[in-house]
A and B are shown apart, each in its own frame.
Chain A
Amino acid sequence: MGAAVTRAPATGDRMIVIVGGGSVALSIAAMLARFAGVLPDGLATIFALVGAGIGLKVALSYAARSASSAARTRMMTLVSTVGLAISGLVVLASLPRITKAAGLHPFAMDLAAQLWTLALLMLVAGPVRTLGWRAFVGAGLTGLLGLTALARLVGTPLVEKLGTSSILATAVWVPITEEALKLLPVALVLRMAMRRTVARPSVLDVTMIGAWTGGGFNLFENATAGRGAFSLAANPLLSLLFPSEGKGTASGWTVAQMGHMGHTALIVLGVSFALMYRRQFSRTWIAPVAAIAAVLGEHCSQNAIVTGHLNSVVTKISIVLTLGGRLTSLMLIGGVAYVIALEWRVVGGAFAPKAWFPLPQAEAQRRSRLLAAAQATGRVPMSRASAGGAA
């Protein structure tokens, strides 16, 4: 990152380069100090967090300025490549440690299962996607490395104090904090998007950011817990779309387990829909409230069941309410289907698979302008014919 930033052409960017370079140096120094045993893990993490926070702010400022200069835009692409490369190297360096519990095979199976669903989602969102692959891969790496570290920083003290069998720690505190932290990348993207009036991403763009973030988080958690598998038959029909979805039994009843990717994607779908299409529909707040309730209902109840301290009646009630753990899966499928039908009309309704991947820049800009216009005016074409242009 630092090498890329120092090549900034404009004199006015020098302060940004200095601050950004300093923040990156601070984060790396904290990491090295932790490896050298100079700093304890908690303190090193806090230093790294401070540096990373400043670095992100600098990147955000530079990204905003990049609109005015082709050179700056190319610079941001270089910064993106370097950032993704650094993150990828950290993942590779971490693999021996995080797969220590069960080896690389379950990790590879789980990686394939997560990518299967992400690829399907990418395919479905193809007609309305405006963001490039870098944003999604960056979100996945952030979920895998950064957000799991943050979640442990927040959750581990209470878990260590109360024990892993504590309902308060593992079935209340951990699910709530994890679901909240996984929304950080999405919050950043939504914050930028909602300021814009001339160009906006689609709801499915933001949903994919959430899915990639959750997928990375799930990959880390499964690897460190020594689990991970790929199955298209464990849960009838649902496993065709979510091969990472688990299946277990509780009180003699079968329970499907969606996992972090689907949970985060569903919350993001509800939140972004309510924010972006609040002019089109009344009471859009129902979407995020329902999504959050369903996700926390599954996450909390299933963690509580695993602790072994939930009585049979409450267990069965929770299983019924969550449709045997299938509620979030079905809500996500229905929500994505509805939003793609809506946004496909907004961007013209044309069937042009060649523009789905790779996504041309001009096509991305055309879609984002149409999406912004529809979201701002509250008017969505009721048919493909009235949608006007096509891809």
Chain B
Amino acid sequence: MIDIFAMMMHWCASCVSSGNVIPGAAGVVGGAAGAVGGLAGLSGAGDGGAGDAGDAGSSGSSPSSYVTLPPPPPPPEYDGVSLPPPPPPPMNNPDGTPWDGGPSNSPPEYPPGDAPYRPTPIGDTPPENGPQEIPWPSNAPSADAPQEILQNPEPNVDGSPTTNPDGTTTVLNPDGSTTTALPPSTQSIGVTLNADGSTTHYNADGSTTTDVPPPAQSIGVTLNADGSTTHYNADGSTTTDVPPPTQSIGVKLNADGSTTHYNADGSTTTDVPPPEAGTTAGGSTNPDDS
């Protein structure tokens, strides 16, 4: 191998004889032209030079390649149907602080006179406080037994999210408040009410969850004086079934071939069969008519 470099080199442009260099003014002009060429070349990102410019993103000195943005992508579709709009921003309390808790079991408090209207059941007055609860010992916790309390852990002070027992995550905000979010995989970003009463949630991870409401389950029934029955449903609603007034509760075959129905309301209905062929039209076969 031949070492083509044998001497240490001097890294010094200023040490070169002036007779070998171009005048400084020429160098500056050429260098400035090159700088303008390079700077202007920044305007069109890529190797093809400038393209069509888009909307200006912001003010200030910058090459356009750093402010041009394409239009936003269209929303995803499911079977050709557009998804519902994106989820609303995080919920806040009325005082503006972030909502950081789950639904409360305690009844809402209303100012005097502002309580919402509640319809009363049709029919007889139901038992006070609704139907009587049927005790179910296996479900009732013992008063002495220790109760498991699912308490959320303290949020991390470094701002990283903590995972709660129910799967939600809580983040400590810089102002000291906390924000609780649903798990991303099951976070609904839209909901559709279906014709059968069920609801379909479009989750953030692309899956869908359909909630089918349980049927109105009767947990108590009252027979009213008019024959109707009032069902007290599990969801607090009531359903009153009124029997049809002409409902037959008995039938008697008469000698003339007719039938007499004894209806639930005490009335009777007689069905006369059509006359057979060969009999006189309009002629009565009822012995009461003779």
Residue numbers in A under 8 Å from B26 (CB-CB): 31, 34-35, 48, 90, 93-94, 145, 149
Segment among B48-56, B92-100, B206-214, B218-226 that sits at the interface with chain A: B48-56
Point out the residues of chain B lying under 8 angstroms from A189, CB to CB.
Answer: 42
- Interface residue? A142 (CB, 8 A): yes
Chain A residues whose CB sits within 8 angstroms of the CB of B1 once the complex forms: 233
Measured CB to CB, the nearest residue on chain B to A369 is B69
A to B CB contacts below 8 Å, 28 in the list = A49-B28, A52-B35, A55-B32, A55-B36, A64-B62, A66-B64, A67-B53, A67-B63, A69-B53, A70-B50, A73-B44, A73-B50, A76-B41, A76-B43, A87-B34, A91-B30, A94-B22, A138-B35, A149-B28, A191-B61, A192-B61, A196-B66, A225-B16, A248-B6, A248-B9, A360-B48, A361-B51, A364-B46
Query: For residue B21, which residue of chain A has the nearest CB?
Result: A224
CB-CB under 8 A from A1, the residues of chain B are 33, 36
Interchain CA distance A170-B21 in the complex, whole Å: 18
**B38 near A147 (CB under 8 angstroms)?**
no
> Which B positions have Cβ atoms within 8 angstroms of A?
1, 3-70
Task: Check A140–B66 contact: CB distance below 8 A.
Answer: no
Q: Which residues of B contact A116 (CB under 8 A)?
A: none
A164 to B54, CA, bound (A): 54
CA distance A95 to B59 in the complex (A): 42
Chain A 78-114: CB-based contact to B (< 8 A → 1; otherwise 0): 0111111111001101100110110000000000000
Chain A positions within 8 Å of B, measured between CB atoms, are: 1, 27-28, 30-31, 33-35, 39, 41-42, 44-45, 47-49, 51-53, 55-56, 59-64, 66-70, 72-74, 76-77, 79-87, 90-91, 93-94, 97-98, 100-101, 130-156, 158-159, 164, 170, 174-175, 178, 185, 188-189, 191-193, 195-201, 217, 220-221, 224-227, 229, 231, 233-234, 246-250, 255, 257, 259-260, 299, 302-303, 305-306, 357-365, 368-369, 372
Q: Please pick, from A94, A188, A195, A368, the residue contacting B60 in the complex, using a CB distance under 8 A.
A: A195
Q: Which of A87, A155, A248 contacts B7 (CB 8 A)?
A: A248
Contacts A47-B25, A80-B37, A369-B69 given: A306-B31 contact, CB under 8 Å? Answer: no
Shortest C-beta distance, B22 to chain A (Å), equals: 4
How many A-B residue pairs have C-beta atoms within 8 angstroms? Tell me: 420
The answer to whether B38 touches A152, judged by C-beta atoms less than 8 angstroms apart, is: no
Cβ of A166 to closest chain B Cβ, rounded Å:
10
Q: Which residue of A lies closest to B24 (CB)?
A: A45
Chain B residues whose C-beta falls within 8 Å of the C-beta of A175 in the assembled complex? 11
Q: A70-B52, A84-B34, A141-B31 are in contact. Are A234 and B21 (CB under 8 A)?
A: no
Q: A80 contacts which chain B residues (CB < 8 A)? A: 36-41, 43, 49
Which of B43, B48, B65 has its CB near the most chain A CB atoms (within 10 A)?
A: B43
Of A150, A155, A306, A361, which one neighbours B48 at CB under 8 angstroms?
A361
Query: Given A35, A91, A155, A250, which contacts B12 in the complex, CB threshold below 8 Å?
Result: A155
Q: CA A226 – CA B52 in complex, angstroms?
A: 46
Tell me how far the C-beta of B181 lies from the nearest C-beta in chain A, rounded to whole angstroms.
Answer: 18
Q: Across the interface, which residues of B come within 8 angstroms of A100, CB to CB? A: 19-20
In Å, the complex CA distance between A364 and B14 comes to: 39
Q: Is the CB of B66 within 8 A of A368?
A: yes
* B35 contact set on A, CB distance < 8 A: 52, 56, 83, 138-139, 141-142, 146, 185, 188
Using A56-B35, A234-B3, A361-B48 as known contacts, say yes or no to A305 and B8 having CB atoms under 8 A apart: yes
Interchain nearest-CB distance for B39 vs A (Å): 5
Query: Are B57 and A248 neighbours in the complex by a CB distance under 8 Å?
Result: no
A145 contacts B34, C-beta separation under 8 Å = yes
Q: A79-B37, A85-B37, A257-B9 are in contact. List 14 more A-B contacts (CB 8 A).
A: A28-B29, A47-B25, A49-B28, A67-B54, A76-B41, A77-B49, A90-B30, A90-B33, A94-B27, A134-B42, A138-B38, A138-B39, A138-B41, A174-B12
The CA of A72 and the CA of B67, in the complex, are separated in Å by 14
> CB-CB < 8 A to A164: which residues of B?
10, 12, 15
Contact A84 B29, beta carbon cutoff 8 Å: no
| Residues of A close to B36: CB separation below 8 A | 1, 55-56, 59, 79-80, 83, 138
Q: Are B31 and A147 in contact (CB under 8 A)?
A: yes
Nearest residue (CB) in B for A28 is B29
**Cβ contact within 8 Å between B14 and A155:** yes
B5 touches A247 (CB 8 A): yes
Decide: B69 and A302 in contact? CB cutoff 8 A: no
Closest to A170 in B: B12
Q: Closest Cβ of chain A: how far from B166's Cβ, in Å? A: 27
Q: Which of B17, B38, B51, B69 interacts with A73 by CB under 8 Å?
A: B51
- Taking a contact as CB atoms closer than 8 A, the residue among B9, B23, B29, B45 that contacts A364 in the complex is B45
State the Cβ distance, B62 to closest chain A Cβ, in Å: 5
Q: Write out the residue numbers on chain B whose beta carbons fall within 8 Å of the beta carbon of A143.
A: 31
Tell which of B17, B28, B42, B66 touches A200, judged by Cβ atoms closer than 8 Å.
B66
Within the assembled complex, what's the spacing in Å between the Cα atoms of A119 and B70?
A: 31
Q: In the complex, are the beta carbons of B39 and A56 less than 8 A apart? A: yes
